């Protein structure tokens, strides 16, 4: 039985960064998410790929208890994204998007996945996200991602989704765009009025800001000397975040904070190589060691000398 369900994309990405170039590597929100989440819990994936997709390349996920039976092979080609980054790795420039089989994607959740306790709605059409929510029985936490395209073109549908989710995990620019507030804390509070109990803003190399009803939590990004490819870092964050929540089996604020730390840790590995490579090769010992370093970067002695 899976605990965590993700609905999103499986793709072939072509990526240029100042440090190199790759063509048609495995990517897509659902794949980056699952690759990361599978370190912590049993994941089910719902997505679509074309006849050209090499399923054997993601077989390694089965060894991590991922249920891939929800990946449907459709006539046509797999979704493709081509993008590049300059030295400011926070900004992706999309060169080409080929939707291919994504255009007719209709996510049907396999029976055995409908009881998933945790649901991640990766960045797809809000109308499809609603269709997914309708199928999952009584999840403890539904978490939403989206992008500027849907905010601009399907705002009404997106608002309906937001009303039905528990948390948002979105970029800070998207938070500003949805809320029409420049200030992130204010923007988050505005979104929470629609229903969600928590908004998590991803800020790339600057880390993560979480706003809940009563608290704000600040998680910096792990300071790396070599960032190679930021593609998928956001979904890898979400995977670590939700994988950890599902593993702990609760969504208390304390667990959410720890889950944000875990998501940030996973994202810090993700950017060290192209595509899914780094997380595919990752070990628990590496996660543990970096967790220790990460904590150390944030620790300071209590200040007791205020006059």
DSSP, res 131: H
How is residue 192 written in tokens? 């929470």
Could you tell me whether strands 43-50 and 66-74 are parallel, antiparallel, or unpaired per DSSP bridges? parallel
Which residue in 20, 223, 250, 281 binds a second copy (CB under 8 A)? 223
Nearer to a second copy, 124 or 188 (CB): 188
Q: How many residues bind a second copy (CB under 8 A)?
A: 50
Nearer to a second copy, 137 or 306 (CB): 306
Which residue in 184, 200, 266, 279 binds a second copy (CB under 8 A)? 184
Q: Does 138 bind a second copy (CB under 8 A)?
A: no
CB 102, CB 49: distance < 8 Å: no
DSSP, res 301: P
Minimum distance from residue 148 beta carbon to a second copy (Å): 17
Q: Does 225 bind a second copy (CB under 8 A)?
A: yes
How is residue 238 written in tokens? 């979400």
Give the residues across from 85 on adjacent strands.
Answer: 92
Could you tell me whether strands 11-17 and 92-98 are parallel, antiparallel, or unpaired per DSSP bridges? unpaired
CA dihedral 104, 31, 90, 213 (to 10 degrees): 90
20-59 footprint of a second copy as x/- string (CB under 8 A): -------------------xx-------------------
User: Which residue do the tokens 């991602």 mark?
Assistant: 145
| Sites for a second copy among residues 146-165 (CB under 8 A) | none
Q: Does 233 bind a second copy (CB under 8 A)?
A: no
Nearer to a second copy, 126 or 196 (CB): 196
Could you give the 3-state DSSP secondary structure of residue 68? strand
Could you tell me whether strands 11-17 and 20-27 are parallel, antiparallel, or unpaired per DSSP bridges? antiparallel
**Which residues of this chain interact with a second copy, rule CB under 8 A?**
39-40, 87-88, 182-186, 203, 206-207, 209, 211, 215-221, 223-227, 247-248, 254, 257-258, 260-262, 284, 287-288, 291, 295-303, 305-307
């Amino acid at each position: 039985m899976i605990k965590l369900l993700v609905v999103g994309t499986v793709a072939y990405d072509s990526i240029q960064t100042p440090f190199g170039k790759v063509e048609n590597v495995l990517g897509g929100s659902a794949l980056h998410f699952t690759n990361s989440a599978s370190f912590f819990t049993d994941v089910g994936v719902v997505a679509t790929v074309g006849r050209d997709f090499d399923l054997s390349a993601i077989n390694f996920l089965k060894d991590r208890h991922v249920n891939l039976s929800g990946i449907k092979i459709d006539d046509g080609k797999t979704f493709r994204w081509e993008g590049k980054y300059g030295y400011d790795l926070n900004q992706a420039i999309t060169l080409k998007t080929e939707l291919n089989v994504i255009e007719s994607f209709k996510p049907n959740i396999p029976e055995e996945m409908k009881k998933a306790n945790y649901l991640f709605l990766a960045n797809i059409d809000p109308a499809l996200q609603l269709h997914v929510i309708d199928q999952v029985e009584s999840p403890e936490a539904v978490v939403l991602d989206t992008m500027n395209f849907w905010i601009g073109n399907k705002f009404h549908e997106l608002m309906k989704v937001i009303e039905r989710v528990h948390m948002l995990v979105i970029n800070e620019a998207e938070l500003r765009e949805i809320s029409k507030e420049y200030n992130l804390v204010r923007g988050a509070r505005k979104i929470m009025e629609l229903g969600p109990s928590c908004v998590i803003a991803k800020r790339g190399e600057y880390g993560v800001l979480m706003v809940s009803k009563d608290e704000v939590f600040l998680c910096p990004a792990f300071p790396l000397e070599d960032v190679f490819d930021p593609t998928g870092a956001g979904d890898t964050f979400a995977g670590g975040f939700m994988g950890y929540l599902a593993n702990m089996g609760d969504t208390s604020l304390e667990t959410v904070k720890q889950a944000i730390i875990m998501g940030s840790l996973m994202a810090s590995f993700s950017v060290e190589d192209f595509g899914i490579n780094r997380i595919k090769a990752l070990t628990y010992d590496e996660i543990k060691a970096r967790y220790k370093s990460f904590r150390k970067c944030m620790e300071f002695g209590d200040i007791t000398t205020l006059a």
